[in-house]
Every structure is written in C-alpha cells, then in structure tokens.
Amino acid sequence: MDETDSDRASDRPFGAELTPATRRVDGSRPAGSTPDIEELIGPEQTLEPQIQGVWALQSAVSAVILGLIAGVAFTLLDPGGPWVGVVVFAVVAVLGVAFSVLRYRIWAYHVRTDSLYLRRGVLTRVSTVAPYVRIQHVDTRRGPLERAFGLATTVVYTAGSRGADVSIPGLTPQRADDLQARLKQLAIAAEGDDAV
C-alpha cells in the first residue's frame, strides 16, 4: 500500500498526504498526517463543456429511434409519409441538444467543509447534500461514449436507497481522480459512521 502510494504520489494531487487506509482505532492520528480540510474543499465547480456532446449524442440516439418508429408508422398510415419520421427526429434532436446545453449550464457541484453538494436538472431541479460521514466508497467510471470525449464520472455511494444518485459526470479523468482522492480524504477525516 505504502509503496504504490508513494509511487503514484507524483501524479496524485494529494498523493504525498494520503493517509493510510487503516487508521488507529482510537481516532487520534500521528501528528503531521492530519489532512488539511481547507485545502481539500473548494469553490463551486461546473462540468467540462464536452459533456454537452455526450448528452447530445445520447439524445440523438433516442431521436433516431423515435424518428424511425414514427417514420415507419406514418408510412403505413394513410395521411403522412416518411417525412413525419424526419420531423420527429429533428424535433427530438433539437430538444435534446437544447436540454444538453441547459443541463450543462445548471449542473454544479461543490466540495464543502462537511458535505458534497450537487445541483442539477432542467425540468426537475434537484439539490443533493451528501455528508462525508455517510460516504461508503467513491468510484470513478468511464463509459465508451465518455472515453471518446475524454471524460469520466465520479460516483459517491452512501448506504441510502438513493446512493447511486450521487454521481458527477463530465469531469476530465484527472479531475475525476482528483475528486475521488479528495472525497476519500474528506470521508476519512470525517470519521464516518454508516448508521446501519
């Protein structure tokens, strides 16, 4: 553990300060290893603009499917023709792009002193507070489309039934790793308790 950590210390923003995974049970820690919480928290952050591309492409896929369905259906029906499919595709695609842009503008996360705050949603706006004391583990995930755009998602798990809801998409891999490391440190510093 120690070795790999020090090996990777150079490319980890907090690598040099990472506390070992095992803590002393009594909660006190050796002097000097206390993570500086002030350094880990930061101002409100937005996502990378490329995420709009990911979302737009995702909605384009559903636009194609809906367009095909509408096109086939209206070709068979008497009034209308394949052009209905094109119209449906265009409308859904335009809506999808508009939503992607709006969603990107609204999305924000904030690494605060004792909790992670997320704000998101175009039609239904959701603000989530995930206290560090409740963090079970933190994942970084990269889907194929995200990889194509050079993006990653950080997912924070709690024991709650909505645990998987706390995920932050649209980060560069470095930012995602950095956020994962920060959250890990903050969760350790918070001396969590899963309360289950």
* Binding stretches for other proteins (CB under 8 A): 26-27, 114-115, 121, 123-131, 133-134, 158-163, 165-166, 191-196
For other proteins, the closer of residues 36 and 191 by Cβ is: 191
Question: Side chain identity at 54, as an amino acid letter?
Answer: V
For other proteins, the closer of residues 131 and 173 by Cβ is: 131
Nearest distance, CB of residue 95 and other proteins, angstroms? 14
Question: Side chain identity at 20, as an amino acid letter?
Answer: P
63-66 contacts at long range (C-beta below 8 A, 24 or more positions apart) = 63/88, 63/89, 63/92, 63/93, 63/96, 64/89, 66/92
* Nearest-angstrom CA–CA distance, 167 and 170: 10
Cα dist. 129→61, 92, 117 in Å? 32, 32, 5
For other proteins, the closer of residues 145 and 157 by Cβ is: 157
Nearest distance, CB of residue 103 and other proteins, angstroms? 14
Nearest distance, CB of residue 167 and other proteins, angstroms? 12
For other proteins, the closer of residues 9 and 133 by Cβ is: 133
